[in-house]
Structure 1
Amino acid sequence: MNHEHVVTQRGRRSRLPITVAIHSTARGRAAGGCRIAAYPHWRDGVTDALRLSQAMSGKCAIAGLPLGGGKTVVSLPLSYDMSTTARRDLLQDIGDLIASLHGAYATGPDVGTGPDDMAVIGERTDYVFCRPESAGGSGDSSLHTATGVLAALRAVCAHRFGGDDLSARSVAVLGLGRVGAHVLRMLAGARVIAADVDPGRRDLATRYGATWVSPQDCLTADVDVLIPAALGGLLTAATVPTLRCAAIAGPANNQLDVPATAGLLHERGILWAPDIAVSAGGLIHATARELLHETPEQAAQRVAAIGATLTGLLDTAAGTGITPAAAADQLAAGRLLVS
């Protein structure tokens, strides 16, 4: 294990196992989301915390943030039914555990949590971000994530097609949740097809001029750019041969099922923009505002810089013959090493 500090503690109120994994503070305080999810065994939650916190170190390093990587994971029993009271007890237990780390780690929303939950955690510790604006935080980060995705899309299109005019491109948006919906709205004017597992999202797609298709047809559409904006693990040895896009860039985390899939995309000539760079806008904005105490203008500049960061990764990959994924790994490792 190459983590600096890992603690698993049963909550005093909730009696649920809470893990905080701090991978690195070489660049500064560790930051990472709070995930509340069901696992077959609590040790599976610990394993997830280790994996996710290490990824957060890379994400912060690539984004140029003076922060390290950490993660909170709460392992719920598979059949656990959480009442409002039980949820509040759990969130306060999380806050107490984070407070006991004396500022080494700060948390924000992730799977199973949102800004309102951060406000409850914030009752027990100051080391939290993405609280609602009414509670003194920066609020929902999805718009800023989407803004970063647009900056990444322009960089990808400039690299792959020689121009960053998105209105000249055909795109497929797979997933119309909070981030995907913002991306869809921002792409007005482009030729867009869209899909979501929830058929109720169809009206949203048509509202912004997108053609509604099934998720499978969206994945395999003949378009310039595929934008994965739902769950991860989408790109596999089975799905890569079915793709007909020229490039992939989206906010979904952990898009590759295994690292070797990056090589399969490279062999097919499909330009894959590492999700660790593309999806960082929300994290960048929230931590810049709430942990680094920067102005809105400074935070916006950091988000916009995703485009330049990705351009550098793609240029490095093209110039050395490696995959963009390998270029991202090299950049993150270098920045963690010299911090």
Structure 2
Amino acid sequence: MMLFEEMSMGDYEQVIFCQDKESGLKAIIAIHDTTLGPALGGCRMWPYESEEAALRDVLRLSKGMTYKNAAAGLNIGGGKSVIIGNPKTDKSEALFRAMGRYVESLNGRYIIAEDVGTTEYDMNQMYLETDYVTGSTARAGSSGNPSAKTALGVYSAMKRTAKEVFGDSSLKGKTIAIQGVGNVAYDLCQLIRDDGGKLIVTDINQEAVQRVVNDFGAEAVGVNEIYRVAADIFSPCALGAIINDETIPQLRVKAICGSANNQLADIEIHSQRLKELGILYAPDFIVNSGGVINVADELSGYDEERAIVKVKAIYEQMGQVFEIAESENITTAAAANHLAEQRIAQMLKVRRTFLQTEKSAICRR
């Protein structure tokens, strides 16, 4: 990879490579954009096949956080970090404290949170070295694990999607096909069941599937069958890039709304294909923004009731996306990007105006 060329093309601000020989830490922090404020994004721990694969992932994820945070109306920018390693075997206090020291060295340009492969406990270890961490349980004012709030955000987005497609936001009598039933999806299943919805689920983890079957009366299907089931809404809550040339022709749903990141294998091609087929796509970085909205509330002194109100506002944000897509005759994916880019552009304009005013004032002196 030609790193500086890649950074220039994607307009990334900073990439930091972190290593600590004693703990075995190998990590990358990517700060994409701080126009709206310090970059905030989770720390993913994963046994990447190569260092380049880790770099590509952190670049992709950090840019996604810029759009997610901007569209959510947060005064924070986009960043992400990855630790190369197996989260089941390679964790240690020394490793996470070393990571915390690297975060501290950035003096608040990047604020870390948990993500795939990391937990509240891991954030606690980082907090021993830096204040720039959210989602820990070690200090007063922390919000802890954001999974429940992420699920609430997905549920809010799903209700607005249902209203757009069916004319009613209630999920009563609706069939939701969920791919992946981890922590976020488990909480989502409960919300859907309590709203009167029917669940069809799948996961490579059969214990997780059985838990949802037992607790919420879900119907279980095979991992490859989920694309073909007749349902009202398909909810991808596991892997990315699962809406692609192979799966789209199999879909028998009216809408897609789930928590997984980067669901479209090709954003332009596959969002247009869904539009042509009459399948409403709820853009994933709007749908799954509840977690970051929740942890971002820590920056002003965490208040759970206030955070819940903000997370539920995803309902209105999703409505904005649908309205933009309809009025401009564009895909919902393009509309979500427009919403985020417009907010960043407005802030850049304000900054330029302020700097020009300050420059003029200095010249007059």
Q: What band does the TM-score fall into relative to the shorter chain?
A: over 0.9
For the residues of structure 1 that align with 2:77 and 2:16, how far apart are their CA atoms? 17
- Give the superposition deviation at 1:37: 1.4
Partner amino acid for 1:122? Y
RMSD: 1.8
Q: Does 1:89 align with 2:94?
A: yes
**Secondary structure class of the residue paired with 1:287:** helix
How many angstroms apart in 2 are the aligned matches of 1:83 and 1:283?
26
Consecutive unaligned residues of structure 1, counting only runs of 5 or more, are none
Residues 246 and 81 from structure 1, CA distance in 2 versus in 1: closer, same or farther, beyond 3 angstroms? closer
The aligned counterpart of 1:104 is 109
Moved over 4 A (4+): 133-136
Match for residue 17 of structure 1?
26
In 2, Cα distance between the equivalents of 1:294 and 1:80?
28
Alpha-carbon distance between aligned partners in 2 of 1:326 and 1:83, rounded to the nearest angstrom: 39
CA–CA distance in structure 1, aligned partners of residues 336 and 285 of structure 2? 8
Q: Deviations over 1:250-285 (max 9, x none)?
A: 111111112121112112111010000000111111
Return the alpha-carbon distance in structure 1 between the equivalents of residues 37 and 63 of structure 2. Answer: 14
Tell me the distance in 1 between the aligned counterparts of 2:236 and 2:69: 21
In the alignment, the residues of structure 2 paired with residue 143 and residue 243 of structure 1 have an alpha-carbon distance, to the nearest angstrom, of 28
Question: Residue 218 of structure 1 aligns to a residue in which SS?
Answer: coil
Q: Are residue 158 (structure 1) and residue 163 (structure 2) matched?
A: yes
Q: Which stretch of structure 1 is more off in the superposition, 207-216 or 50-59?
A: 207-216
- Of 111, 121, 124, the residue aligned with 2:129 is 124
Aligned residue number for residue 45 of structure 1: 54
The CA distance in 2 between the partners of 1:91 and 1:174, in whole Å, is: 31
Retained in 1: the 8 A contact 2:287–2:314? yes
**SS of corresponding position for 1:217:** coil
| 1:186 matches 2:195 | no
Q: Give the one of 70, 82, 91 matched to 1:73.
A: 82
- The one-letter code matched in structure 2 to 1:144 is K
Larger-gyration structure (1/2): 2
What is the aligned residue count? 334
Per the alignment, do residues 254 and 92 of structure 1 end up closer, same or farther by CA in structure 2, a change over 3 Å counting?
A: same
Instruction: Work out the percentage of aligned pairs sharing the same amino acid.
Output: 35
State the match for 2:354 in structure 1: none
Distance, in Å, in 2 between the alignment partners of 1:96 and 1:133 is 17
Aligned partner of 2:300 in structure 1 is 292
The TM-score normalised by the length of structure 2 is 0.87
Structure 2: runs of 5 or more not aligned: 1-6, 348-365
Aligned residue for 2:224, secondary structure, equals helix
- AA in 2 matched with 1:139: G
Alpha-carbon distance in structure 2 between the residues aligned to 1:153 and 1:272: 10
Give a deviation string over 1:140-187, Cα, whole Å, max 9, x none: 111101111111011001111111111132211221110111111111
Equivalent residue number for residue 64 of structure 2: 55
2:345 is aligned with 1:337? yes
